[in-house]
Amino acid sequence: MKIVILDGYTLNPGDLTWEGLQKLGELTVYDRTPQDKILERIGDAEIVYTNKTPLTRETLEQASQLKWIGVLATGYNVVDVEAAKEQGIPVANIPTYGTTAVAQMTIALLLEMCHHVWAHHEEVKRGAWTNCPDFCFWNYPLIELAGKTMGIIGFGRIGQAVGKIAQAFGMNVLAYDEYQNKMLETDSIKYAALDELLTQSDVISLHCPLFESTKGIINKDTIAKMKDGVMLINTSRGPLIVEEELAEALNSGKVAGAAVDVVSTEPIKMENPLITAKNIIITPHIAWAPKEARERLMNIATDNLEQFLAGHPVNVVNQ
Ligand code: NAD
């Protein structure tokens, strides 16, 4: 049985092993696959894995020997899952592997906005402390989080993990979600309507998926409702934010700082208005990528295929 991985590099740039999948069939791994090589590389394989390489209806119709598709990520929008279903091809994703890693990155971004650790370190290295008349200096506002309010939009696995850490910092948490589980409320974590969250929060963090209903949820109207000087974090999906409008709010100072790990088009285009906006931190979609999280992803990806071959498919998103 032939197994083809179309874009394995970001999952395994060399520090993990494909051994588990090698045991299941004749494995070919491509680091990345350009659009015009997708069909050729799938060839007569029965099993294909993709991370971000699109598998369109047209491609699937021509790859008629395909029996199963594995997505090496949680989000499976790169595969036309309906077309796959029509052809009887199950598509399996990795529903959860990165909760703790993404929550940790969210907090790393928050703490960076509060302390500007790297910028201060750079100042020290260029001699600013050595030449300082006082025993200390700071060039950016320093912010304590205890007693402040964090608004979490999308209170699922990652949102809840972020909420727990915020609670440990002594913050109050307002959570907005389409579905509410009142069991998750504590003295300092409460559900709120979106407007209440927007008006009350000192920090707002996005953890809802990208759906038509959440696309552009951060825009000039929702920003106008926020506190002056609010901080915004996005480790979920870029299109949740209307970037032009966030850039304007950063430049005017309405939003005091923003940190985003995801943007509307990835890799980011240098024309993206966030690149030149004031007080922004942009990281290249790395929240998911600590080795520990990628190891979990690799194990689940292997298990997904094993279970399919054993006759009881799991994590199928197009049943
Ligand atoms: P999850 O499904 O556990 O939680 C998502 C929550 O959002 C759910 O509680 C759901 O009810 C809620 N939601 C859905 N529609 C909503 C709406 N219209 N308004 C408010 N809430 C809504 O997912 P998760 O594991 O917590 O992941 C959240 C997101 O994080 C993913 O969708 C993905 O986009 C992103 N993510 C990013 C990275 C990264 O590397 N930056 C890695 C993994 C996941």
Q: What is the 3-class SS of 7-60, one letter each residue?
A: CCCCCCCCCCCCHHHHCCCEEEECCCCCHHHHHHHHCCCCEEEECCCCECHHHH
Domain-located, residue 32: yes
pLDDT of residue 61: 96
pLDDT of residue 279: 98
pLDDT of residue 75: 83
Same domain, 72 and 34: yes
Going by pLDDT thresholds of 50, 70 and 90, the confidence category of residue 189 is very high
Which atom number of ligand 1 is nearest to the Cα of residue 99? 25
Domain-located, residue 61: yes
Share of the chain above pLDDT 90, in %: 96
Going by pLDDT thresholds of 50, 70 and 90, the confidence category of residue 99 is very high
| Of 75, 74, 114, 92, nearest in space to 259 by CA | 114
Q: How many CA atoms lie within 13 A of 236 on its CB side?
A: 28
CA distance 162 to 151: 10
Going by pLDDT thresholds of 50, 70 and 90, the confidence category of residue 12 is very high
CA distance 209 to 75: 9
Same domain, 163 and 267: yes
Same domain, 110 and 229: yes
Same domain, 122 and 183: yes
Mean of the per-residue pLDDT values for the chain? 97
Domain-located, residue 160: yes
Mean pLDDT, range 133-148, rounded to an integer:
97
Range of the domain at 176: 99-282
Ligand 1: residues with CB < 6 A are 74-75, 96, 98-99, 102, 153-159, 176-179, 207-211, 213-214, 235-237, 261-262, 285, 287-288
- Find residue 174's DSSP bridge partners: 151, 190
Q: Is the pLDDT of residue 64 over 90?
A: no
The pLDDT tens digits for 231-289 are: 999 999 999 999 999 999 999 999 999 999 999 999 999 999 999 999 999 999 999 99
Strands 47-50 and 2-5 come out as parallel
Q: Is the pLDDT of residue 10 over 90?
A: yes
Neighbours of 5 (CB within 10 A): 27
Query: For residue 26, which phi and psi values (nearest 5 degrees)?
Result: -85, 105
Burial of 68 (0-12, 13-18, 19+ CB in 10 A): buried
Mutational test site, ligand 1, from 78, 100, 158, 292, max ligand atoms within 8 Å of CB = 158
Q: Between the CA of residue 74 and those of 59, 71, 176, 317, what are the distances in Å?
A: 21, 7, 22, 10
| Of 35, 37, 38, 28, nearest in space to 8 by CA | 28
Domain-located, residue 319: no
Same domain, 32 and 155: no
In 194-273, alpha helices (H):
194-200, 220-225, 243-252
Q: Is 285 a catalytic residue?
A: yes
Going by pLDDT thresholds of 50, 70 and 90, the confidence category of residue 211 is confident
* Sheet (strand 255-260) strand order: 189-191, 172-176, 149-153, 203-206, 230-234, 255-260, 280-282
Neighbours of 26 (CB within 10 A): 11
Q: Is the pLDDT of residue 19 over 90?
A: yes
Between 209 and 28, the higher pLDDT residue: 28
Domain-located, residue 317: no
Enter the DSSP assignment of 182: G
pLDDT of residue 77: 84
pLDDT of residue 210: 87
SS3 105: helix
| Of 265, 234, 256, nearest in space to 159 by CA | 234
Q: Is 41 a catalytic residue?
A: no
Q: Is the pLDDT of residue 294 over 90?
A: yes
Q: Whose CA is nearest to atom 32 of ligand 1?
A: 209
Mutational test site, ligand 1, from 78, 162, 174, 178, max ligand atoms within 8 Å of CB = 178
> Contact, 198 vs 204, CB < 8 A?
yes
Q: Is the pLDDT of residue 11 over 90?
A: yes
Enter the DSSP assignment of 274: T
Taking the model in full, what pTM does it have? 0.94
Which atom number of ligand 1 is nearest to the Cα of residue 208? 7
CA distance 286 to 93: 19
pLDDT of residue 242: 98
Answer whether the bond into residue 267 is a cis peptide, omega within 30°. Answer: yes
Mean pLDDT, range 153-166, rounded to an integer:
97
Mutational test site, ligand 1, from 207, 266, 315, max ligand atoms within 8 Å of CB = 207
Share of the chain above pLDDT 70, in %: 100
Domain-located, residue 314: no
Domain-located, residue 315: no
Cα 103 from chain centre: 10
List the structure tokens of 273.
């208005």
Which atom number of ligand 1 is nearest to the Cα of residue 105? 41
Same domain, 186 and 268: yes
CATH value at residue 91: 3.40.50.720
Q: Which of 26, 61, 122, 266 is catalytic?
A: 266
Same domain, 184 and 58: no
Q: Is the pLDDT of residue 120 over 90?
A: yes
